[in-house]
Structure formats: structure tokens, C-alpha cells
Amino acid sequence: MASLINSTATLIGDAYDFYLWTLSISDERTKGWLLVDSPVPTLFYTMIYLLIVWAGPKLMKKRKAFKLTWLLVPYNFAMTALNAYIAIQLFVASFKLSYSYVCQPIRNVWKAEELQIANAVWWYYFSKLLEFCDTFFFILRKKDNQLSFLHVYHHSTMFSLWWIGIKWVPSGSTFLPAMVNSFIHVLMYSYYGLAAFGPEVAKYLWWKKYLTILQLIQFTSALVLGINGIRSGCDFPLWMQYALVLYMISFIVLFGNFYTKAYIAKGKQAYSNHQARVNGRQNGVNGVKKVQ
């Protein structure tokens, strides 16, 4: 028993020493920034998020769904503006710095444009905390069908993983996935903001399907970027590139499955139903009774 306690204490001590070592190699430029110094706030908010995901639908079960149009419209357009700001900041700064879209090493310097990149990446990380509201609104509106594993996995992991990004790699190749994803979120939140006005407006919004396609293209491109970085020996943290590859594979599988069920399978079913109706009309015209 004493041996087990000593082994456990040693393991905990080694883990803590490793944690202190990782802090010593974190990026100096983001030290002291809101939520960055310690993982505790990020983990705390993520745990609260998961608790609400679990308890929220139970608490709303016997309550009437909230409409929330008055809140959804400004929220979605505010998120549109924030993501546009992030994308523009990253594009302008990376252009001025002649950043590579294939492999960009971290430049740990205090140049204004480099700090602009880091600042935009921080806002991108913080936006993932704000995006928890997407889930909370689903719960309040009793849209429990939207609380899929994909949705919860995406929201809960992005916030935590981008804390790692802003803590250790707030510049370099980090800029690209943040910039591209922010641009896609501009389109996404624009759609949700307009759709919140109701069916009268939503029926004219034709691009929802293509948002998922854009996301799949984004994830595939990021996967290729990560694999290329590993194979070519890109001077960017290797652990980050492996993490990117694994994370993108999970997204491609989950979003691909969602797209297949939401659009391809439904499209085939709609076509089958249409053909059945056509055949039924033809049988009626020809005076042929359909055999059941």
C-alpha cells in the first residue's frame, strides 16, 4: 500500500513538473492576457458547458420553448461582425508579413504585425467561448435534435484546443485555420441571423447546404496542410501538426456523416417519393390498379 502511494505521489509530481516545464516554454507575447495564463478557466467553462448540455434539456422538458428572435438576430449578426474582424485582421497582417500558406514558422518577435496576428488568434479563441451560446439557444428553444454528438464535440473541444494555440503557438501557421474558419463563420452566422427572422426569410436562404461543403473542404485542406508539414519537416511544432491531423480526421468523419444523412440520404428519399407519386398518377391514368 505504501509503495502504491509513493508511486502515485511520484507520478503526480512528475506530471506537475512537466506542466511547469510546458509553462516555461509558452509564448511570452500572450502572457497576462485574459484567460491565457492558466488552463483552469478554460476547463471550468468547458465543464459548465457540458453540465448545461446534460441538465438543460431535462430542465426544459416541461417548460414552453422560448422563441428568442429578439436575441438571436443581434447575437448572430454580432458573431458575424466578430468573425469578419478576425478574418480581416489575420489576412492583412499575414499579407504584410508575407506569411506562407504552406508552412509558416513561428516568429517569436514583438513586431506590430506579429502582435496583430496573436491578438486576432486570441479573439478567435475567445469567440469559441461565445459560441457556447449556440448550444444554450438550442436548449432554450427545445431544439434537442440539434444537440448531436457532432455539435457538442465541436463546441467543447474547439475552445479548449485553441487555448493551447493561443498559449504556445499564437502565430506562424496557426493563422491559416483561424482565418479560413472565421471567414466560413461569417457566412454561417449571416445565414443564422437572417433565418432567425422566420420562414418568410428562411425560404430564400439557399446556401445552408454549401456551408457544410465549405467546412469539409476546409477540414480536408487543413488535413493536407498538416500531413505536408510533417512530411516536409516544416519548422512548426511537430506535436501541433500531429494534433491538427488527428483533429481534422475526426471532423471529416463527423461532418461527412452529417452531410450524408442531412442531404444525400434525404435527397435520395425525396427522389424515391417523387417517383412513387409519378408512378401512382400514371397508373391512375392508365386505369391500372397498383398491386400492394
Q: Which member of 154, 155, 185, 274 is catalytic? A: 154
The radius of gyration computed from the CA coordinates of the chain, to the nearest angstrom, equals 24
CA distance 280 to 229: 57
Catalytic residue at 154? yes
3-state SS record for the chain: CHHHHHHHHHHHHHHHHHHHHHHHCCCHHHCCCCCCCCCHHHHHHHHHHHHHHHHHHHHHCCCCCCCCHHHHHHHHHHHHHHHHHHHHHHHHHHHHCCCCCCCCCCCCCCCHHHHHHHHHHHHHHHHHHHCHHHHHHHHHCCCHHHCCHHHHHHHHHHHHHHHHHHHHCCCHHHHHHHHHHHHHHHHHHHHHHHHCCCHHHHCCCCCHHHHHHHHHHHHHHHHHHHHHHHHHCCCCCHHHHHHHHHHHHHHHHHHHHHHHHHHHHHHHHHHHHHHHHHHHHHHHHHCCCCCC
Q: Which three cell numbers stand for residue 206?
A: 439557399
Helix/strand/coil (H/E/C) assignment for every residue in 169-187: CCCHHHHHHHHHHHHHHHH
Q: Which sequence positions are flagged as catalytic? A: 154
